[in-house]
Amino acid sequence: MNTPLTAPWPSDVTDVVAVRRDLHAHPEVGFTEIRTAARVETALRELGWRVRSGADVVDPAGHPGLPPAAVLDAAAERARAEGVPADQVARLSGGRTAVVADLDGERPGPRVAFRFDMDALPIGEDGDRRHVPSREGFASRHPGVMHACGHDGHVAIGLALAAALSARDFPGSVRLLFQPAEEGVRGAEPMAAAGVLAGVDVVVAIHLAFGLPTGVIAPSATELIATSKHLARFTGRQAHAAKAPEQGRNALLAAATAALNLHALPPFAGAVTRVNVGRLEAGVAPNVIAGAAELAYETRADSADVAAELARRAEIVVRAAAQMHETGVELVRTGHATAAHTDASVAAALTAAAEGVARVRATHPLGASDDASLLMRAVQEAGGAAGYAIVGSDTPGPPHSPRFDVDEAVLPVAVTWLERAVKGGSW
């Protein structure tokens, strides 16, 4: 059920497990993370960081991946019910759920940014008592939404890192990027457009789990796959399915034809490619020719060039399906990410910081997409360096499943590791 807070936010953000559990119990999907962003913003200000939020660091207005107004309004109302002050709700609503914080060290050095994503997924959490969050009382309070990818842990790590660095005993400066809407690869682009990477010399993103066991850190993730997410809206003409089917233009059949042929696209030699149709909605009744249909699909490839070509071919398939069934079709790209790599200097710094903290596996395949890649590419193209690392965690279920959970023992380990990397300053 959706209920107001029954317990206060942990007074000490260094209690990384308590913070993670609070966030886990209050998951919010992309661009609706008002409560999460408000908690982050408040904690960072109390720690003495210079904080910017809302429209100052993200402006998703007009972004095709922004949820409908009704969803955004409902998120604001829920945040108010859960105790978020009115001024924060106003500042962070409308999809403006991003927070950026800066802190200067006590001696010269590079400006290093860390990206922490905040959003949850539209997945109902497992209520079985064998599932630790359900047994321990911190399972999702929001029906149909859960942290099924570890982003609650990422935020908790980021806040504990902010506390660990608050004494300023490090070189250079640190910028923390708390990003909305990583799921669907929607949030990084409007943050980058708002200038959050200005002056950044190094940017690092981390992710929990992804097949790496507890006690192991991979300073350099491989297989960060480029992707494009698309929405195809087919417009046909309704008609009586028996009396006058020829007068109709079947949008459902057009979408179904597109779905089947998208999955028939051939692979590319020497490249890893993926195509998936994840949603198809159409029709009103079995005796009515469907006048409208909506199809959501994605393309992925481990090369940016191949990804672009695959997306081009997918568009041809969709438009041909519409032409075949004489319907209209509107295509919208709702999100994207590029292929990315970790620079050797960043991998070396993260490896050195992990000594004595965790076992190191030089590389580990992510095998997925993350729009942190857009931030990485932007910094690299400006002459800086970037990295994407994986913090191992045993999980009872795979990412994006109702039984996903993280091993909370890895959270303080990740904080210590990143703190050591910052204080080492060898990027």
- Binding region: 149, 151, 183, 207, 400
Q: What value, to the nearest 5°, has the Cα angle with vertex 360 and ends 427 and 152?
A: 80
Place of tokens 């993280």: 406
Known binding-site residue numbers for Mn(2+)? 149, 151, 183, 207, 400
Return d(Cα 153, Cα 7) in angstroms, integer: 19
Distance from chain centroid for Cα 268: 27
DSSP string spanning 189-217?
Answer: HHHHHTTTTTT-SEEEEEEE-TTPPTTEE
Which residue, 110, 300, 75, 96, is CA-closest to 179? 96
Cα dihedral 260/262/268/274 (nearest 10): -100
Return d(Cα 25, Cα 152) in angstroms, integer: 9
Residues in the chain, overall count: 427
The answer to whether the CB of 206 falls within 8 A of the CB of 219 is no
Distance from chain centroid for Cα 251: 31
SS3 label, residue 290? coil
SS3 label, residue 175? strand
DSSP character at residue 272: -
DSSP character at residue 302: S
The answer to whether the CB of 362 falls within 8 A of the CB of 220 is yes
Cβ count within 10 A of residue 106? 11
- Residues 85-90: contacts with CB within 8 Å, 24+ apart? 85/38, 88/34, 88/37, 88/38, 88/41, 88/42, 89/34, 89/38
